[in-house]
Structure 1
Amino acid sequence: MTLPALFDNLRIPLIGSPLFIISNPDLVIAQCKAGIVGSFPALNAREAEGEPIELDRWLTRIKEELDRHNQANPDNPAAPYAVNQIVHKSNARLERDVEICVKHEVPLWITSLGAQEWLNDAAHGAGGVVLHDIINNRFAHKAIEKGADGLIAVAAGAGGHAGALSPLALIQEIREWFNGPLFLSGAIAKGDSILAAQAMGADGGYAGSAFIATQEANADARYKQMIADSGASDIVYSDLFTGVWGNYLKASIEAQGMDPNNLERSDPSNMNFGADREKPKSWKEIWGAGQGIGAVKDVRPAADVVERMATEYAAARKRLFDQTA
C-alpha cells in the first residue's frame, strides 16, 4: 500500500474530519500547521444573497496562510487541507462549489452521501485526490467503481452520521479487494486508536469529535464542555434528526425535553441539505459526537490535541514493539 505523495508531510497519519457548522478556516489552518489534514464541509461557507462567495474567500485564506507557514518553516511544512462535498440531490450548491474547488486546485476532496463520476473527474482534472466515505463494503465498491481514489470507512462509534459495522469487520472486508488509500472513522480520539487502525489494515485515522472541544472550533461553549464531560455511554445512535443514522450526545437530547431511550424513527427521504430545510429549532442544539470522547478531558487549542495524539501514537508504537519484539 502506497499513499499518494499528498500525505507525505503528515506528523501522524490522521485526517481531521469535516464537521458540519463547526469546521472553519481557523480550525483547518490550526490542524494543518500541527501536521494533520484539516478539512471542512463546503456547505459551512455561507453568504447572504448578493455578498461575495464565502467558499472562495475561505479557500483563498487557507491557501495563503498555509503558504506563509511553509515559507517560514521549510523543514516543517503544513499538512494538506481537504474540502468535503455533500453529494446529495438536496445540495443545490454542489456544482457551484465544485467549480470553486477546481479553481483553487483543492488537494484533497472528501465526498459524502453519493458517489458521482463527474465530480471525481473534476477533482482529478484539478490535480486532486478523492476519498469517499462509506459505511459498508457495498458502498465501498460503488465509490471505487465511480472513480474515487480512496475510502473513509465510517464504522460504529463515529460521530455524526455513522455506520453500524465493527471497524474490524469493515476494514477486513474492504482490504480483501482494495489496496488503495483507506482511513478509519469511529471512536478515533487517541494516538493508540490511530495505530490500531493501521494494525487492522487502514492507512490512518479520521477524527472529528476530539476537535469539537477546541478553541478554534465554531461550536457553542456548552457543546464543547459537554464533549469534555462525557464518555462512550453518553452517546445515542438515532436516525431521527437527519434521516440518516448518527451518534449524538444524550445530554443534548435530554436538554430539549426528549427521552433519548425512546426516540422515534425517521425516513431517509427526510434528508435535506438545501437552504430551505426545516427542522424544529430545538434540534439545532442536539449535538453529534462519537464514542471516543472519553479521551477528551478539556477544551484546548487544536495544536494541543494533535500534540497529545502524536505523543500517544509514539508511546503506543513503542509499547507494541516491546511486546512483540
Structure 2
Amino acid sequence: MPDTGPLARFRDRLRLPLIAAPMFLVSGVELVVAACRNGVIGAFPTVNCRDTEQLDLWLGEIDRRLQAHADASGHAAAPICPNLIVHRSNARLAQDLAVLLRHKPEIVITSVGSPAPVLAPLHDAGALVFADVASIRHAERAAAAGADGLVLLTAGAGGQTGWLNPFVFVRAVRGFFDGPIVLAGGISDGHALRAAEALGCDLAYMGTKFIATRESMADDRYKQMLVEATADDILLTTAFTGLQTNMLRPSIAAAGLDPDNLPARGAIDIGKDIDIGARENRPKRWRDVWSGGHSTSGVTGVLAVDELVARTATEYEAASARVRLI
C-alpha cells in the first residue's frame, strides 16, 4: 500500500529513518548540511544562534547549500529540522518562531514544554510539529494538543534525558498514538536503528556519534573524550541543570569536581557565570562539562558525516537482511 502518513512527503529523500539530533552548542550549519545531503534529517536548536538575525542567516545558508547540492546531484536533500525551546525561559521564542515561519521548514521539534502555543502558526506554514516528551503523561498531553509526532526521550539519551525504558515507553505510547514516533536514546549504529523500527518507531535520533564528527561545533577535546569513553563513563545527575542529565564523568573531573560527590539538585550554577573578572576561569556546563549518551560506547573515532552515515547504512542493511531471514 502507498505511504499516506505524515512522513510520506519526504520519505523518499531519506537514506535512513534517522535524525541527527539537535544538540546545544554542537549542531550548526556544517553538521546540518552534511546530514541532510546524506539523506539524514538535520536538526539544530535555534538557540545555538546568538540571536534571531543569525538564525535567519543560518537558515538561508542551509537552504542555499542544500539547493546547490540538489541541483548538482539531481536528488533533493533530507529536510532540515529546527528545534524550538517553548519554555517561558526562552525570551526569544516569539522572534525565533517568526523567523521559522518565514523560512517554512518541513519539520520543527518543540522542547521543554507543550507545543500548543506554536502549533497553529507552524501548521499554517506547512510544518510538521514533533514534541519532545519524557513521560507517558507528557506524551498524552502533547498528542491531545495536536502534535504531529512525538520524540520519546528515553533512558540513555545524552544531555537532559528521560528515564523510562525504551521498550516500555514506545509500546505504551503506541497504545494511544498512531502518528510518527521518534526514539531518542541509545541509537549507536544501524542495528539499533533497525531495532527501533521493529519496536514501532518511525524514526530515531542519533546524537552522541554526531558530536564526534568533523562537522560538529564541539571542542576537539570533547570529541576525543567521547572516543576514549564508554557507557560506563556516563553519569546521570541533577547537579548541573536541576533536571536528569547524562554527563561525561571525565569532563566533570577535568573541571575540578568529584563525579561521585556532586552537590544537591541544581546546586552547581556554573552555567550562569559571566566570563568577566574573577569568574572568567570557572568551568561552565556544556562548554567545559560535557554531555553524552550511553551510545558513547559506539564512538570509535572522529569521522566525517559522510563516513558515519555510510557505516550506519551498511549496518542497517545488514540488520534488515538478518530480520528477513528469521
In the superposition, the TM-score normalised over structure 2's length comes to 0.92
Give secondary structure in 1 for the equivalent of 2:10.
helix
Give secondary structure in 2 for the equivalent of 1:179.
coil
Matched residue, 1:30: 34
Displacement after TM superposition at 1:161 (Å): 0.9
2:292 paired residue among 289, 293, 318: 289
CA distance, structure 2, for counterparts of residue 136 and residue 205 of structure 1: 17
Matched residue, 2:59: 59
In the alignment, structure 2 segments of 5+ residues that lack a partner are: none
Residues 255 and 283, structure 2, Cα contact 8 Å, conserved in 1: no
CA distance, structure 1, for counterparts of residue 142 and residue 270 of structure 2: 20
Deviation track 1:38-86 (CA, whole Å, cap 9, x = no partner) reads 0110000115xxxx81000000001111111112222x32100000011
Matched residue, 2:23: 19
Residues 243 and 271, structure 1, Cα contact 8 Å, conserved in 2: no
In the alignment, structure 1 segments of 5+ residues that lack a partner are: none
Larger deviation, residues 253-262 vs 173-182: 253-262
Residues 240 and 266, structure 2, Cα contact 8 Å, conserved in 1: no
Structure 1 pair 116–184 and aligned structure 2 pair: CA distance change class (3 A): closer
CA distance, structure 1, for counterparts of residue 211 and residue 14 of structure 2: 21
Residues 7 and 80, structure 1, Cα contact 8 Å, conserved in 2: no
Matched residue, 1:111: 110
The answer on 1:180 being equivalent to 2:183 is no
Matched residue, 1:40: 44
The answer on 1:309 being equivalent to 2:312 is yes
CA distance, structure 1, for counterparts of residue 115 and residue 236 of structure 2: 28
In the superposition, the TM-score normalised over structure 1's length comes to 0.92
CA distance, structure 1, for counterparts of residue 283 and residue 255 of structure 2: 10
Residues 283 and 289, structure 2, Cα contact 8 Å, conserved in 1: no
Number of residue pairs the alignment of both structures matches: 315
Matched residue, 2:130: 131
CA distance, structure 2, for counterparts of residue 140 and residue 177 of structure 1: 9
CA distance, structure 2, for counterparts of residue 128 and residue 8 of structure 1: 18
CA distance, structure 2, for counterparts of residue 265 and residue 109 of structure 1: 34
Matched residue, 1:249: 248
* Percent of matched pairs sharing the same residue: 39
What letter corresponds to residue 175 of structure 1 in structure 2? R
Deviation track 1:174-232 (CA, whole Å, cap 9, x = no partner) reads 00111101010111110001111111111121111100001111111000001111111
In the TM superposition, what are the counterparts of 1:1-325 in structure 2 within 5 Å? 2-4=5-7, 5-47=9-51, 53-74=53-74, 76-267=75-266, 281-283=283-285, 284-322=287-325, 324=326
Displacement after TM superposition at 1:3 (Å): 4.0
Displacement after TM superposition at 1:271 (Å): 12
CA distance, structure 1, for counterparts of residue 284 and residue 207 of structure 2: 23
Structure 1 pair 239–7 and aligned structure 2 pair: CA distance change class (3 A): farther
CA distance, structure 1, for counterparts of residue 127 and residue 6 of structure 2: 14
CA distance, structure 2, for counterparts of residue 65 and residue 257 of structure 1: 42
Residues 80 and 108, structure 1, Cα contact 8 Å, conserved in 2: yes
Displacement after TM superposition at 1:272 (Å): 8.9
What letter corresponds to residue 21 of structure 1 in structure 2? L
Q: CA RMSD in A?
A: 2.2
Deviation track 1:100-120 (CA, whole Å, cap 9, x = no partner) reads 000001111010000132301
Residues 119 and 147, structure 2, Cα contact 8 Å, conserved in 1: yes
CA distance, structure 2, for counterparts of residue 127 and residue 30 of structure 1: 24
CA distance, structure 2, for counterparts of residue 265 and residue 32 of structure 1: 41
Structure 1 pair 65–96 and aligned structure 2 pair: CA distance change class (3 A): same
Displacement after TM superposition at 1:6 (Å): 3.0
Structure 1 pair 150–282 and aligned structure 2 pair: CA distance change class (3 A): closer
CA distance, structure 2, for counterparts of residue 173 and residue 304 of structure 1: 35
Residues 190 and 312, structure 2, Cα contact 8 Å, conserved in 1: yes
CA distance, structure 2, for counterparts of residue 135 and residue 118 of structure 1: 19
CA distance, structure 1, for counterparts of residue 6 and residue 189 of structure 2: 22
CA distance, structure 1, for counterparts of residue 223 and residue 202 of structure 2: 29
Give secondary structure in 1 for the equivalent of 2:13.
coil
Give secondary structure in 2 for the equivalent of 1:285.
coil
Give secondary structure in 1 for the equivalent of 2:129.
strand
Give secondary structure in 2 for the equivalent of 1:69.
helix
Give secondary structure in 2 for the equivalent of 1:216.
coil
Give secondary structure in 2 for the equivalent of 1:89.
coil
